[in-house]
Structure 1
Amino acid sequence: MKSTDNNMQTISPGNTTNLRRLGWSSFFQDQFTIEDTTSCFARVVGMRRNFFLVSQGEEESIVTVCGSLLKDPEMCYPAVGDWVILRDSSIVAVLVRQNALVRKEAGTKKRKHHEIPGHEQVIATNLDKALIVCGLDRDFNLRRIERYLTLVYNCGVKPEIILTKADLHQDPGVYADEVEAIAFGAKVHLVSAQDDVAINRLRTDLASGVTAALIGSSGAGKSTLINRIYGENIQTTGAVSENLGKGKHTTTNRDLIVLPTGGMLIDNPGIREVALAAGDANSVSAFPDIEEMARSCKYLDCTHAHEPGCQVLKAVSKGELSDDRLKSYQKIRDELRYISDREVKSAARVERERWKGVAQKIKTINKKKYHR
């Protein structure tokens, strides 16, 4: 075995013992058929402003991105969780991803329709699961959790929900029941400062080679959760403002942390705005209850807003479905449709079609008035 200048071993695709500890699998192995003794494979475990931290299963090394990768618009820019090819201490290629947790850049929801849509931001890649962390304080919001679930499902990743600060309530199980009612099969974990049962369960689930990403608001308790799962204080934690109910960004970088159990957690800065990105049309929905009801609606293109024979509205009137959940579904559905349209149409065309529809509705209303 040769060594590169940064003391990393040059490997062949067949020598992957250390890499398997970081989640290397046949999915990545099958991307190579020819042994290349001038290059080596590694996983991105950290991102900084001008460089990356990578690992082959033992020591971490600092590398940069080669100029040709930056200039090629068809090549993926590395993200935490990526498997990459290294040559001379530089990343020369990013392996095809199994999945990627992606959202629109913060602030894009507030832009007007005619403005350029925000770029997609890759949060983490090659995940086995995404852990949605929500504190049982002012951070708790079912509608926000629905957006997180949509974000995760759209990226083809399995979600789990962790409710922290359960010790703030005498009966935190009530909150867990509310979340389970909208999560439909996703695991829900209640975590409190005094109880280690849930922490031990999470440790067991994060077995060797398993990669999970933590996402949630600032102050939700992600850093504290990592410290408890790891068993040591390896992440900085901060207090939540009593006046605003918001936490500070104690985590400012994205890092892949290898746990003593062999599992991996990708920590992320707090997310203020869950801005959705265009997802997989065949992905699992965060609203399976509403979509199941919609199959029995009178019209195939029912918007569940005013149409006769709408089974979804019927369920709301009977109290079987909350109006808040329906509004959340409609808002997310419309947002995803708009994002999808922006992928294939110019902003001007989308806007013209929107106003054409408005004009047609006004014309129809005027005709009804005239015939009266």
Structure 2
Amino acid sequence: MKTRTFSENRQECLDRLRRLGWNDHFEQLAADETLDPARVARVLSAQRDLFLVTDGRDERLCAPSGTMRHRHRDYPVTGDWVLVDEGVVRRVLRRRNTLSRGEAGSRGRQEGAAQREQPIAANIDTVFVVCGLDRDYNPRRIERYLALVHNCAMTPVIVLTKADLHASPEPFRDEVETAAFGVDVVLTSTRDARGVDELHAYLSEGRTVSMIGSSGAGKSTLANMLHGSRVQATGAVSASVGKGRHTTTSRELIAMPRGGLLMDNPGIREIAFSQGGDGLDATFSDIRELAESCRFADCSHRREPGCAVIQAVETGVLSQARLDNYRKMQRELDYVRARSEKSANCVERERWKDVAMEIKRMHKRKKR
């Protein structure tokens, strides 16, 4: 029997990792830090003190290291790449990106703006923004999701589920395409598997897709349809209030038969921002382009003369509801940025305070 060489074993290990999403970014990271790929695994599901990880061949439950448990920083989330030794997660590899939102219940005085960041997933290629064509349908909420995804520097795709509820669902898609410039919009239906082939194009081997949306939007049903079997529990939407239950209670990466990994997420009730970014400009590119024609460079698009944005609303080119949503999110992101800058200044002041105290102690020692 031929003995396998070290390079052959390493190549086999890398091939397994690539099927899980390992790419050139992480390959370079591993080379720079001389990491052994045999120690690398990906987090399929993250609980509070337990992680389900896989190296592409075996799945196992691992616990966080003592250092990681006490620091409460760089804690693994679903989608992370980690270093594992003897059933213990020792370290989280530097993330390519992080899908995060404001932690529920941590909002400050400014409506909609959160004080603490809650990572949802890491190392994601595409985010499916899932919205049902029932009572869940809300273009303004879709805009908030898009701003959140763009802020995290990820690529969104809008998935409109339950298309079979309407004889002609195309007007919904047209409306969303108008509000989401440059973003792909896919209509889906479980009755005739509509949209499956379009979505599978994002789930090629080695690519990771995360789904976000409200409870009852049809994320778990969509996961089952794309997988071709029942891999996620589903629940009925209340007929009286039109709200769904949290049938998905944890985030889990699901390996798809045709390749790629899909992450279902519990329904999001609060779409709060926790970080600044270019999400607003990307989501409202039409308003940004209109603003370039305003008379004043610092136009707030409220009462200034010669405002191209207000003129677009008056002529019906831009809806008032879209502009109001833009203003609301702008206030929230301004608040987030202000808090971030204030926090940075506080840290700097504390640092110089420590330096000043050390200088005083040095002077006292010299006088003695």
Q: TM-score range by the shorter chain?
A: 0.7 to 0.9
Per the normalisation by structure 1, the TM-score is 0.85
**Residue 135 in structure 1 maps to residue 132 in structure 2:** yes
The partner residue of 1:161 within 158, 161, 164 is 158
Number of residue pairs matched?
A: 336
Q: Secondary structure at the match of 1:20?
A: helix
1:320-331 superposed matches below 5 A: 320-331=317-328
1:48 Cα deviation after fit: 1.9
SS in 1 for 2:300: coil
Answer yes or no: is 1:214 the counterpart of 2:211.
Answer: yes
Q: Is residue 31 from structure 1 mapped to residue 29 from structure 2 by the alignment?
A: yes
- Structure 1 counterpart of 2:42: 43
Match of 1:82 in 2: 80
Aligned to 1:296: 293
Any gaps of 5 or more consecutive residues in structure 1? 1-10, 350-372
CA distance in 2 between counterparts of 1:82 and 1:13 reads: 21
- SS of 2:30's equivalent in the other structure is coil
Using the TM superposition, give the Cα deviation of residue 193 of structure 1 relative to its aligned residue in structure 2, in angstroms.
Answer: 2.7
Runs of 4 or more, structure 1, over 6 Å off, are: none
Note closer, same or farther for the CA distance 1:137–1:209 as it changes in structure 2 (3 Å cut).
same
CA apart distance, 1:92: 1.2
SS at match of 1:63: strand
Deviations along 1:262-281, whole A, 9 cap, x unmatched?
A: 11111110001111221334
What is the SS of the residue equivalent to 1:225? Answer: helix
**Residue 96 of structure 1: CA displacement?**
1.1
Q: Distance in 2 between matches of 1:38 and 1:130?
A: 27
Q: Give the Cα–Cα distance (whole angstroms) in 2 for the partners of residues 187 and 78 of structure 1.
A: 30
Moved more, 153-162 or 189-198: 189-198
- Kindly report which structure 2 residues correspond to 1:1-372, keeping only aligned pairs within 5 A, or say none: 15-33=13-31, 35=34, 40-72=39-71, 75-109=73-107, 111-113=108-110, 117-281=114-278, 285-345=282-342
Q: Deviations over 1:175-227 (max 9, x none)?
A: 00000001111111111232224112212331111100000000000010000
Distance 1:135 1:296 in 2: 36
Instruction: For 2:332 and 2:77, locate their aligned partners in 1 and report how far apart those are by CA, in whole Å.
Output: 26
Question: What CA deviation, in whole Å up to 9, does each residue of 1:74-104 have, x standing for no partner?
Answer: x511110111111221111111111111100
Q: Is the 8 A contact 1:132 1:216 kept in 2?
A: yes
**Larger helix fraction of residues:** 2
Q: 1 CA distance for matches of 2:329 and 2:321?
A: 12
Cα gap change, 1:202 to 1:88, in 2 (>3 Å): same
TM-score, structure 2 normalization: 0.86
Measure the CA separation in 2 of the matches of 1:139 and 1:264.
Answer: 26
The whole-number CA distance in structure 1 between the counterparts of 2:313 and 2:153 is: 30
More deviation, 281-290/201-210: 281-290
Tell me the alpha carbon deviations over residues 87-142 of structure 1, each in whole angstroms, 9 at most, x when there is no partner: 22111111111111110011334x4259x953211111111100000000110001
Q: Percent identity?
A: 46
**Matched residue of 1:312: which SS?**
helix
- Is the contact made by 1:151 and 1:277 (CA closer than 8 Å) also made in structure 2? no
The SS at the match of 1:292 is helix
Whether the aligned pair in 1 keeps the contact of 2:101 and 2:118 (CA below 8 Å) is: yes
| Residues 1:44 and 1:222: Cα distance change in structure 2 (over 3 Å) | same
Q: Which has the higher mean CA deviation after the structures are superposed, 193-202 or 254-263?
A: 193-202
